[in-house]
Amino acid sequence: MRVRVPGSSANLGPGFDVLAAALALHLTVEVHETGQFALLTDMHLRRDRENLIVRAFERLLPADRFEFHVRSTIPLSGGLGSSAAGVVAGLLAADRLSGGGADILELATEMEGHPDNVAASLLGGLVICDGPRAVRLELPPALEAVLVIPQRPVRTAAAREALPAAVPLADAVYNLAQIAKLTAGLVAGDLQLIADGLGDRLHQPHRAHLYPRSAAVAQRASEFGALGATISGAGPTVLIWCDRDRPREPLLEWLESISEGWATIRAVQFEPAGASATELP
């Protein structure tokens, strides 16, 4: 079985733990029944049964007789859904090999702790999550992205700890309005409405001290032609939202000038297709 799963960006500005989009960065796992367990990869991953892909696989099927071949273009840290993709890949492979029928989204949400990244990886496009349930929307074809991926990661636990215990009513109302505008813009393909809906007062301002360079990039990206920018998941990667028909050279030149020594720049498409599983010959 060959399983291919996209990465993802969660929160998308105002949609904390609610919104996520699939990205055209992919984890590929090939599973072969050889009679013994092995995990083969060139990546910096565990190669034993504690590997996240294998742990997800074993929620549905013992891994004793299977060999796993793993490769990926999703950065392993930075907020681009690498762990969620691993969970979805393991579950989907085991489900298909055992005959199908498992609720992959429910199991993946249970393992990951929240549904946004796993739902985007499983379904593709943009997802709106409500507990273990997810609604999928198509993304406008004119929408593209540029990633600013810092070399130094930030622990997700530290990013969670930076959040306030309570949210002022005015900030909650602001974020609700932003989510409404962003979702309406995505549905209508209105890029200006999308740009107007990327603001956030719930999580990004409270985490800015953990990655000040990323926060500064997110704040200034629109000055160089971007629609706007959001911190991807818990960070520190920045997802810069771009109009395909708008010149991107000023943005890329600025990013190259400020990123040397601490981050890499990568253009990426949003991914309409979700996870797939194909039986190998």
Residue 123 belongs to a domain with what CATH number? 3.30.230.10
The whole-model pTM stands at: 0.94
Whether 241 and 119 share a structural domain: no
> Is residue 33 situated within a structural domain?
yes
> Is residue 280 situated within a structural domain?
no
| Structure confidence by residue, pLDDT tens digits, 49-97 | 999 999 999 999 999 999 999 999 999 888 999 999 999 999 999 999 9
Indicate if the pLDDT at residue 132 is higher than 80.
no
> Is residue 58 situated within a structural domain?
yes
Three-class secondary structure of residue 270 per DSSP? strand
| Structure confidence by residue, pLDDT tens digits, 236-251 | 999 999 999 999 999 9
133 forms beta bridges with 130
pLDDT, position 155: 86
pLDDT, position 233: 94
Whether 114 and 205 share a structural domain: no
Domain that holds residue 191: 143-269
Indicate if the pLDDT at residue 173 is higher than 90.
yes
Whether 261 and 216 share a structural domain: yes
Indicate if the pLDDT at residue 10 is higher than 80.
yes
| Structure confidence by residue, pLDDT tens digits, 206-260 | 999 999 999 999 999 999 999 999 999 999 999 999 999 999 999 999 999 999 9
Average confidence (pLDDT) over 24-53 = 95
Name the pLDDT band for 191 (thresholds 50, 70, 90): very high
Whether 228 and 209 share a structural domain: yes
Whether 120 and 18 share a structural domain: yes
Whether 9 and 130 share a structural domain: yes
pLDDT, position 133: 86
pLDDT, position 36: 96
Domain boundary among 137, 169, 187: 137
> Is residue 281 situated within a structural domain?
no
Domain boundary among 105, 137, 169: 137
pLDDT, position 169: 96
Whether 121 and 24 share a structural domain: yes
- 85 vs 280 pLDDT, higher one: 85
What's the CATH number where 262 sits? 3.30.70.890
- Is 9 within 8 Å of 235 (Cβ atoms)? no
Whether 6 and 126 share a structural domain: yes
Number of domains in the chain: 2
Answer positive or negative: Cα dihedral of 54, 32, 102, 58: negative
Whether 71 and 189 share a structural domain: no
Domain boundary among 137, 156, 171: 137
Cα 143 to chain centroid, rounded = 16
Three-class secondary structure of residue 143 per DSSP? strand
> Is residue 279 situated within a structural domain?
no
> Is residue 110 situated within a structural domain?
yes
pLDDT, position 156: 83
Q: What is the mean pLDDT of the chain?
A: 95
Indicate if the pLDDT at residue 18 is higher than 80.
yes
Whether 38 and 72 share a structural domain: yes
> Is residue 274 situated within a structural domain?
no
User: Can you tell me which residue has the tokens 């999550």?
Assistant: 129
Task: Give alpha helix (H) positions in the chain.
Answer: 52-57, 82-97, 104-112, 116-123, 156-161, 169-188, 191-196, 204-207, 212-220, 249-259
pLDDT, position 178: 97
| Structure confidence by residue, pLDDT tens digits, 101-123 | 999 999 999 999 889 999 999 99
> Is residue 16 situated within a structural domain?
yes
Whether 127 and 197 share a structural domain: no
Whether 110 and 153 share a structural domain: no
| Structure confidence by residue, pLDDT tens digits, 137-160 | 999 999 999 999 999 989 888 998
